[in-house]
Amino acid sequence: MKILIVEDEEKLARFTELELMHEGYETEKVFDGRLGLELAESGRFDLVLLDIMLPGLNGIEVLRRLRKSSDVPVILLTARDSVMDKVSGLDTGADDYITKPFDIEELLARIRAALRKRKADTVSSTLSSGLLTLDDASHTVKYDGNEIELTNREFGLLKKLLENKSIVLSREVLLEDVWGFDYMGETNIVDVYVRYIRSKIDDVYGIKLIQTVRGVGYVIRD
Ligand code: CA
């Protein structure tokens, strides 16, 4: 397993590299966004640790460009604990993020989780409900043959609900499984994403795809 570290705080990058090597990972580190993007796109890495505040090109922009050609797992390293950073990072296609200063054990756990999740994701399948189909392999969602453009996070949320048809999933479960970490507080982010999906599917096709179960969570029923 080879991990790319894109982090301009050299001390932190070196410390992280040593800990990862100690865990048996191969690593490479760069201190600038442009070079980070170039290396991340090379396909030589199994996972990328990406700082947000970087010289050259910031982490969100690196991620945005990287996602055009690569689905390598990315964990964002952020010093800023703002909801906007998290949302824009996750929306842009980050698999997870960790706020600096972080505990190395926590980082290692998230790396393992991201690698596991990616492995599970490669088992492809098609899910459906009524005229709606979700194809994991091609990452497409269609309603009656019409393609619907969803962000990675919206896609993940819809997939999770389709995989558990007729089972009501709580916001906490959705957060843990779709966002992939313990999202302290702010469980209303799930509501925000359900609204996004509804605006792209329900509102357009006049259906009621995701049902709200008051006080419990969300469910898709046929
Ligand atoms: Ca930085």
Question: What is the rounded CA–CA span in Å between residue 138 and residue 132?
Answer: 15
Distance 164 CA to ligand 1 centre (A): 39
Each residue of 165-218: pLDDT tens digit? Answer: 999 999 988 988 888 765 565 778 899 999 999 999 999 999 999 999 998 999
Distance 8 CA to ligand 1 centre (A): 5
DSSP string, 75-102: EEEES---HHHHHHHHHTT-SEEEESS-
Distance 130 CA to ligand 1 centre (A): 47
Distance 48 CA to ligand 1 centre (A): 15
Each residue of 31-74: pLDDT tens digit? Answer: 999 999 999 999 899 999 999 999 999 999 999 999 988 889 99
Distance 53 CA to ligand 1 centre (A): 4
What does pTM read for this prediction?
Answer: 0.57
End-to-end Cα spacing for the chain = 41
Distance 9 CA to ligand 1 centre (A): 6
Distance 66 CA to ligand 1 centre (A): 18
pLDDT at site 4: 98
Residues in Cβ contact with 211 at an 8 Å cutoff, skipping those fewer than 6 apart: 218, 219, 220, 221
Give CA separation, 104 vs 13, 62, 108, 114, in Å. Answer: 12, 24, 6, 15
Q: Can you give the length of the chain in residues?
A: 222
Angle CA 8–11–12, to nearest 5: 70
Distance 31 CA to ligand 1 centre (A): 9
Question: What is the rounded CA–CA span in Å between residue 192 and residue 93?
Answer: 17
**pLDDT score of 81 more than 90:** no
Distance 189 CA to ligand 1 centre (A): 26
Q: Using 50, 70 and 90 to split pLDDT, how confident is the model at 116? A: confident
CA-closest candidate to residue 209, choices 138, 136, 150: 150
